[in-house]
Structure 1
Amino acid sequence: MEANVMRDAVEIEEEYVRLDLDSVSEQFDILPNAPYVLSGLDTLSPILVIDNKLKLIGHYEETIGTCIALTEEDFLYKRKQSSSYS
C-alpha cells in the first residue's frame, strides 16, 4: 500500500524553452526542416546548432506572463470542432 502512495506522490515537472530566432532568420536562410541540436540547456549559455552550419550561443531571460504553444494538430482539431457547431 505504501509503495502505491509513494508512486502516486511523485510529481513530474516539465519545463518548456522558447527560442526567439527572429533576428537570426532575417540574416540567415534557415530551412523549415533543417536538423538541429540543442545542448547545454542546464547551463547559463545553451547552444543551438542548426544544420551543422550555424552555431548560436544563447542566454536565458525570465519572462512575465503566459506563452501558449500549440501544435498544428491542436489547431486543426479546434478548427474542426468550431466548424461542426456552425
Structure 2
Amino acid sequence: DDKLAMQVWHRDAEVDAQYTGLFRELLTYMMEDPRNITSCAHLLFMAKNIERIGDHATNIAENTYFLVHGEMPAGLREKRDQTSQ
C-alpha cells in the first residue's frame, strides 16, 4: 500500500521530535538530581531504540513506495532528532 507507506514516511519526523523532547526532559531530571541518572539512562536507551524502530519502519516504507512506483519518494526525509547537534 503505497499511500500507507507514505504516511509512515511522513510521520518519521514526529517520532524524531518526540525522542528529542524526551531526551531533553530526561536530561533535565538527571541534572536536577543525580539519583535519577540510572533510571533516566535506561529510559533514554529504550527511547533511542524506539526511535530506531521508527527509522527502520520508514526505510521499509521507502522500499514499499519504490516497489510500487519504481522511484524513491520525492524530496528529503525530514529529520527532527536534534540530540546529536
Q: TM-score, normalised by structure 2?
A: 0.27
Q: Radius of gyration: which is bigger?
A: 1
